[in-house]
Amino acid sequence: MAASPGRRPISPNSSSAPSDAARRRGKLYGRRKGPKLSAHQLGLRDSLLPGLRFDGTWPDGELWLEIGFGAGEHLFWQAEHNPHATLIGAEPYEGGVAKLLSKLAESPRPNIRIHEGDAREIVDALPDARLGRVFILFPDPWPKTRHHKRRFVQTQTLDALARAMRPGAELRFASDDAGYLAWTLERLTAHPAFAWTAQRQSDWTTRTPDWPRTRYEAKALHGPPVFLRFERR
């Protein structure tokens, strides 16, 4: 794939060597390690991940970003149903990456690229107005007040996304945590670059047909999930 001109390059190994911007921004919170990976999963990391790891070049055409893809169910579905788009999935938790690799070993999706690190490194490196769609689905709500600074949705982060998204691009956010939903709505509705597309209650209580349900969503850990869609002005 041909590469588009970019801002600054991003190292494919940046998850182990944070950029200067990442250091200024602060650490990445959340788990990187979990239960020990199986021999099969370790084998996939060695054999399959190198060819899927985002290499720092920007492909031509439609580009989407999923921030924190969990087990990769949503990312996999979107890649399958939107072969015209390249999807970069950012996920620092190696167990989640391992689960996605298992899916891709059985059913390859050539339009998926994986960044096993901080999604903000991808956003910072993107050329202006490059993203057509961004997914932030069921991020860690960090419910304690002293941990709110760890939430992914911050005004600074939205500023960065606004720069990287083209006019008319869509930002999708979902959560089952009422506190984080209120937090996100407050910041997104106040941001001049984003317009909430909802016209009626069903617009945030139900998913669109191209928004698949995941196992995490089915658990509904904190309450009924809410689905927000914002358009880049």
Could you tell me the pLDDT band of residue 14, with boundaries at 50, 70 and 90? very low
User: Would you say residue 23 lies in a domain?
Assistant: yes
- Identify which of 177, 227, 159 has the alpha carbon closest to the alpha carbon of residue 197: 227
Give the model confidence (pLDDT) of 137-174 as tens digits.
Answer: 999 999 999 999 999 999 999 999 999 999 999 999 99
User: Would you say residue 11 lies in a domain?
Assistant: no
Instruction: Provide the pLDDT for residue 29.
Output: 61
3-state DSSP assignment of residue 228: strand
User: Would you say residue 12 lies in a domain?
Assistant: no
Instruction: Provide the pLDDT for residue 190.
Output: 98
User: Would you say residue 5 lies in a domain?
Assistant: no
Q: Indicate if the pLDDT at residue 18 is higher than 80.
A: no
CATH code of 96's domain: 3.40.50.150
User: Would you say residue 140 lies in a domain?
Assistant: yes
Structure-token match 């055409």, residue found: 61
Q: Indicate if the pLDDT at residue 101 is higher than 90.
A: yes
Q: Name the more confident of 33 and 92.
A: 92
Active site residues per annotation:
140
Mode of pairing for the β-strands spanning 112-115 and 85-90: parallel
User: Would you say residue 31 lies in a domain?
Assistant: yes
User: Would you say residue 8 lies in a domain?
Assistant: no
- Residue range of the domain that includes 184: 18-53+61-232
Task: Give how far Cα 129 sits from Cα of 6, 15, 82, 111, 169, Å.
Answer: 11, 24, 20, 20, 9
Domain count, the chain: 1
User: Would you say residue 184 lies in a domain?
Assistant: yes
Name residues whose C-beta falls within 8 Å of residue 228's C-beta, 6 or more positions apart in sequence.
172, 173, 174, 181, 184, 185, 188, 196, 198, 204
